[in-house]
Amino acid sequence: MPSLSNPKTFYLVHARANASTDFFILPLLKSENYRVLNHDSNDLPTKDELIGSTIIFVRYVPQNWIKLLATANIRKIIFFMDDDVLDIHASRDTPWLYRLKLARLSACKYNWLKQQQAELWVSTPYLQQKYADWPAKLLLPSPIAAQTDLCRVFYHGTASHRADIRWLQPVIDQALRQDSRLVFEIIGDHRVNRLYRKLPRVNVIHTMQWPSYQAFLGLQPRHIGLNPLLPSPFNQARSYTKFFDITRCGAVGIYSPNSICADIISHQHDGLIVDLDQQAWVDAIIQLANNPPLRQTLLNNAQEKVKNLAEQARQSHQGLLD
């Protein structure tokens, strides 16, 4: 438990993971041997846990934290802002719902922060000068180091794959929890966004026209492509073009059995054929993510298979226009 003799405990109160914290606050706290405890508006410590600690509010001050601090024995309060959130007039050109949020969580807390003799930290010389009578302290941003070992997993299916998209959600949920290097990309509408938005490191991409999609495939490297096809008359009639898309992305595919892709792919040679068991798909994703040499071998073989299939297609063209 923190005590008055331990002033290096910081309670960081912010709205989930966010750019303000990562660019400004965490680099400062990580530079020293500080104990940092992350909380949001719904995650309250006890008063005893707060003894002797410093509270840092990032942009917003939740009302339930004000009630908690009314009788808590803390060291001090710090309020950080990287926009002018304490002056409601400064946000007059923003959407009204956003202005309402700033008014409720920031601007109307101005007097309370003053009464608490809170320190004010700001992100720019402009804000430091505007709030010079506080006085405001300037905190400059630090760059965020790029994570170079990320593994991009993707599924690109249309609305006709709605059942497949639902089936895949718990697979992705568990895989992302098991391996922090994984990121997931899926194309879909607002229903797909609702289904996946609470998962970490998920990018839901708006559906796009075919020419835009073709350009999109070449924008960035991808590593693992997913093509689960649940048994249905519609899926039974599909061709193996997803194999082309996945290989074109530089990725290795995981495919379901009893599908057209399974008919042209050799398991563990130019892709993986995995039973439609969700845990088995989690295991297959993790296996490929942890074995780049295997991925490269499978990709090389898949690229050779694409050439062979292109030749088969060329031969099938003969006589069609006679």
pLDDT in tens, 272-287: 999 999 999 999 999 9
Answering whether pTM is above 0.85, one says: no
Region of poorest pLDDT, from 74-88, 144-158, 168-182:
144-158
DSSP code of residue 144: P
Angle between helices 241-248 and 292-316 (to 10 degrees): 130
Which tens digits make up the pLDDT trace of 213-251? Answer: 999 988 878 999 999 999 888 888 888 999 999 999 999
User: What is the CB neighbour count within 10 angstroms for residue 287?
Assistant: 15
Res 2 pLDDT > 60: no
Distance CA 280, CA 285 (A): 9
Phi, psi of 304 (to 5 degrees): -70, -40
10 Å CB burial of residue 278 (0-12, 13-18, 19+) is: middle
Q: Are 23 and 80 in contact (CB under 8 A)?
A: no
Map out the domains of the chain as residue ranges: 9-138, 151-315
Supply 135's token pair: 């006085």
- The pLDDT score that the predictor gives to residue 145 is 83
- The pLDDT score that the predictor gives to residue 204 is 95
For the chain, the average pLDDT equals 92
Res 266 pLDDT > 60: yes
CATH superfamily assigned to domain 151-315: Glycogen Phosphorylase B; (3.40.50.2000)
Res 3 pLDDT > 80: no
